Amino acid sequence: MAGPVPRPALLAAVLLLAPLGLTACSLGGGGDSGGGGGIGQQPTEDAGQQARERVQAYLDALKVRNVATAREQLCAPLRDSFDASATGPGGEFAKYLTVTGARVTGVTPEGGRQRVTSAVSVRVGKQSLNRSLSFAVQPVDGAWCIAEEAPAATDAPAEAPSAAPTPSS
C-alpha cells in the first residue's frame, strides 16, 4: 500500500471535490420543478440516459480541460460559482492537476432528479488519486443540467476509471 498522501495531492483532491458541492444547495430539492416540462413526462430510462450523458460530457470536459464545455453542463445557478472556483488556483482546471480518467458508474432516480455517480482519477505531480463523485441532474426548462456535485456518499475507494467510457457505463 502507498505511503501517506503528500499535502499538495491531498489538497488538490479536496479542491477537486469541493467547489460545486459547496454551492450545490442553491437550487433546492428537485422534486417539483414547476412548469410543464418536468421529468414526469419522460420515461425513467430516457431521464437516466440524459442524466448519464450530461455528467459524462462534464467528466470528458474535465479530462480535456475544456472549461466552456464543462460549464455548459451546469444549471445556471452553479455557473457563477464554477467560474469563480473551477478556474482558480485550486479548482478542477488548476495547472498542477490532471484528470486522467473519469466515467459514470451508476444512475438512480431521486424524486424529480437523477443521481449519477462517477469514478474520477486525478494526478497531481506523481501522485494519483481515485475518488467517487455524485451529481444531481435535473430538467430545467426542458433541458437536463447538473444541479449539484459532491463527494459520493460511500467511503469505499473509487474504482479506477477506464480511459474511455464504455457503452454500458
Give pLDDT tens digits for 27-40: 334 333 333 344 34
* pLDDT over threshold 50, residue 162: no
Residue with cell 473519469: 102
| Set of cell numbers at residue 70 | 464543462
**113: exposed, middle or buried (Cβ count in 10 Å: 0-12, 13-18, 19+):** buried
pLDDT, position 130:
94
Sign of CA dihedral 161, 132, 144, 92: negative
Q: Domain 7-31+38-151 carries which CATH code?
A: 3.10.450.50
Phi-psi region of 125 (alpha: psi -120 to 50; beta: other; left: phi over 0): left
Share of the chain above pLDDT 70, in %: 64
17 vs 22: CA distance, rounded Å = 9
Question: For the chain, which residues make up each domain, given as ranges?
Answer: 7-31+38-151
109 vs 61: CA distance, rounded Å = 24
- Give the DSSP letter of residue 94: -
Give pLDDT tens digits for 60-69: 999 999 999 9
Using DSSP, state whether 1 is helix, strand or coil: coil
Q: What angle do CA 76, 72, 74 make, to 5 degrees?
A: 45
pLDDT, position 134:
96
The per-residue b/e assignment along 131-157, b for 16 or more CB within 10 angstroms, e otherwise, is: bbbbbbbbbbeeebbbbbbbbbeeeee
Give the residues across from 33 on adjacent strands: none
Q: Which residues contact 80 (CB under 8 A, 6 or more apart)?
A: none
29 vs 143: CA distance, rounded Å = 17
- Mean pLDDT, rounded, for 117-134: 93
Q: Is the model's pTM score more than 0.85? A: no
- Mean pLDDT, rounded, for 107-126: 94
